[in-house]
Structure 1
Amino acid sequence: MMFKTDKQTLTDLNVLDWNSASLLRFFDHTLTLGGRDQLYNYLMHPLTTIEEIVERQETIAYLSTVNVSKLFDKYMMVDLERYLNKPAAPSVKNRTSYFLDTISFNFFSLSAQREQLLVRQSVREIAMLFTALQDIVAEAKSSGKAVGLLRIYADFFSANASVFDKEEMRQVGRGKSWRLTTHKYNYLFRGKRRPQVQELFNMIYTLDALTAVAKMWNEGGLCFPRVNTNDTAAALLRIEGLYNLALDNPVKNDIHIPSAQNIWFLTGANMTGKSTLLKSIGICIHLAHVGFPVPAQSMETILFKGLMTSINLLDNIGSGYSHFYAEVMRLKTMGEIMTVDNPVVIMLDEIFKGTNYQDAYEATLNFINSISGIESSLFFVSTHITDLGEIVGMDSCVALKHLETKADPKQGAIFTYKLLDGIATEKLGMWFLNRESVFETFRAVQPRKSSS
């Protein structure tokens, strides 16, 4: 089973882009290329069980208390990957035959010397990584903190205790071993124990990615959410002190969505922050299911099976889709997913803005009616069609929300970005047009001479 999301949603929430405001850039303090790849993979594939989420949270929390940076070296790992991916060890029956094969070449040639240097350095570094990580896991285990992935890593080292002699590996890692010992481990690392070495590398990359997340958690402002089952949850979603990571001075809001009122009807004029609020909530839900800390003071959520958004939806010229038809097809896709997976989170920003007002009014009303009564899933619908508020507000499943705007005689409209109950009543379109003297600008254009 996979958590249902897609490229549109990841783009809307700015999860994986390489711009400065993306989640990937925020958490990417990795020191290895493999660690960065692992971080990308984590953000792209949310988890599907509470046990997996808790396990990752526990690992990150523990890594925030220890220093494991000595395990991570970008250039060392590149060289080790090159070493491990060289042609596999010759097909020989034993280590002695392999050793004889390796010295049968011209020992004094430049290529042979380079090969021997790579082998000695790589064997030493792999042994060093093995023992260093083994010591970290052993320390966590002895202190009763071998939680999450560290517990799995402890099992890995226990299973391989008879294969790799710890003290001998420690001497190899320090560069204090005989040449025959180096050849022994070169034979093992690139031969039948190659899978264990690759697993060691993967463990290093995983710890690099999670340590990068732990670093951001240590800086404050983030919390680990509690993920509940539907049976134990007092609410579908509760977030205290929610804010947006991309803003320098974000306004914080509290979100509380009980199971009996799982449809948000969000109104507000342009620039009041509706899209930003939806993105902030979506980011918290996504990160919660990734097992990462979220930008909030506290958070509780049920375990969802998917998150689908339509915030920055574009038309599709290649497919011949207008913006409205792209909205139609997007909604159809969401509905088809919900027939298979439920509960999910659906976010729709400025729904049906690709058609005329009357069509948008009727379509929005019909959509609200069609989703009313669907239990456990969450629906966020933002719109400019405030006239619908009185009608949809009669539905007990619908919560009316808006973002506050204050009027000031000198400054005009002041956006507080605070979430309030009810329907927005401000109509600021004409105010903006008049403030910027748009109509006067056109009136100032010299009239064309009439043709004779």
Structure 2
Amino acid sequence: MSIVDKQTLADLNVTNSRYKDMVDFFDCTVTLGGRDMLYSYFLKPLSSKLEIESRQHLILFMQKVEISDLLDKYMMQDLEQYLSLPQEPYSSSRATYYLEMVSTNFLSLDFKKREILIKRSIHEIAKITDGLAIFLASAKSEGHSLAILKEYRKHVDCVLEDIDRDEFKQLLNNKFSKELMIKYDYLFRNIKRNAIREIFDVLYHLDALFSVAKSIKGKNLVFPQIEEKTGGEDMITIRGA
């Protein structure tokens, strides 16, 4: 992987705010994180033939699938806000939960908004995790064994590890008790915070790749040929198809 400085990117019209640039050409992303991920592909282009062809295969696969149900710009902003809430000690019951919240004036409007954010976020994180698990399982069943998809699956499995399936179904159905809300709020924001951030990154990667796939398909583009040069795996030549 190489790193290209911003001036070079602007000179090549890859990122140039004055004109319609190459990022805009491929940008059909839904989430802000997806757009940032797409930008990072240009800022840090791959330089290995194997990695480039692997990404090309993944983009071709993304042309055949639909992940729009997993992508919601404003929901992801709320979830990022949720994960940014300060970590808190675990409350074993509803009573101790509210006792610990007394100092924050739990009858205030801000507290009620916070509780709504927490409950909705727990449900949405469960939906995203389940949706990604289903998507990656379907990719595997269709014979797509790309290494990157396996890595994505590991991140999803890390979130699902040690989670009770019956409780998880309640989270998915958005019908869970205050006790479960307290339990999974602590679990998601404390124990599994980093793992959940990883699946957010997976979602942003898929958003960026899906965006490129739609652009290529809609504009009838083809991938260039990649030829490896002698001198190491990071020495490549790109030719028009």
TM range (shorter): 0.7 to 0.9
- Contact 2:152/2:199 (8 A) holds in 1: no
Deviation at 1:166, TM superposition (A): 4.6
- Percent identity between the aligned chains? 38
Output the CA distance in 1 between the equivalents of 2:29 and 2:205. 10
Output the CA distance in 2 between the equivalents of 1:164 and 1:55. 32
3-state DSSP of counterpart to 2:226? strand
Give unpaired runs (5+ residues) of structure 2.
231-235
2:60 corresponding residue in structure 1: 61
CA shift in 2, pair 1:12/1:112, >3 Å: closer
CA shift in 2, pair 1:160/1:83, >3 Å: closer
2:233 corresponding residue in structure 1: none
* More relative contact order, 1 or 2 (CA 8 Å, 6+ apart): 2
Larger Rg: 1
Query: Which of structure 1's runs of 4+ aligned residues deviate more than 4 A?
Result: none
Output the CA distance in 1 between the equivalents of 2:239 and 2:17. 30
1:102 corresponding residue in structure 2: 97
CA shift in 2, pair 1:43/1:5, >3 Å: closer
Output the CA distance in 2 between the equivalents of 1:148 and 1:216. 24
Deviation at 1:119, TM superposition (A): 0.9
* 1:193 and 2:192 matched: yes
Deviation at 1:21, TM superposition (A): 2.8
TM-score normalised by the chain length of structure 1: 0.48
Q: Which has the higher helix share?
A: 2
* 1:136 and 2:160 matched: no
Q: Counterpart amino acid of 1:102? A: Y
Q: Counterpart amino acid of 1:199? A: E
Output the CA distance in 2 between the equivalents of 1:174 and 1:189. 17
Deviation at 1:146, TM superposition (A): 4.0
- Contact 1:58/1:148 (8 A) holds in 2: no
- Contact 1:123/1:185 (8 A) holds in 2: yes
Output the CA distance in 1 between the equivalents of 2:11 and 2:179. 57
Alignment of 1:315-326 (within 5 A): none
- Contact 2:87/2:189 (8 A) holds in 1: yes
Output the CA distance in 2 between the equivalents of 1:58 and 1:131. 24
Q: Which has the higher strand share?
A: 1
2:214 corresponding residue in structure 1: 215
Output the CA distance in 1 between the equivalents of 2:5 and 2:157. 39
Alignment of 1:182-261 (within 5 A): 182-230=181-229, 236=237, 238-239=239-240
Larger mean Cα displacement after TM superposition, 171-180 or 193-202: 171-180
- Contact 2:225/2:238 (8 A) holds in 1: no
Output the CA distance in 2 between the equivalents of 1:49 and 1:35. 23
Deviation at 1:216, TM superposition (A): 0.5
Deviation at 1:156, TM superposition (A): 2.4
**Aligned pairs, number:** 232
State the superposition RMSD in angstroms.
2.3
TM-score normalised by the chain length of structure 2: 0.86
Output the CA distance in 2 between the equivalents of 1:55 and 1:37. 21
Alignment of 1:3-402 (within 5 A): 3=2, 5-90=4-89, 92=90, 95-96=91-92, 100-104=95-99, 105=102, 107-230=106-229, 236=237, 238-239=239-240, 298=241
CA shift in 2, pair 1:113/1:54, >3 Å: same
1:332 corresponding residue in structure 2: none
Output the CA distance in 2 between the equivalents of 1:180 and 1:22. 50
CA shift in 2, pair 1:64/1:165, >3 Å: farther
Q: Counterpart amino acid of 2:180? A: T
Give unpaired runs (5+ residues) of structure 1.
240-297, 299-452
Deviation at 1:11, TM superposition (A): 2.1
1:235-268 CA distances to partner (integer Å, 9 max, x unpaired)? Answer: 95542xxxxxxxxxxxxxxxxxxxxxxxxxxxxx
CA shift in 2, pair 1:165/1:16, >3 Å: farther
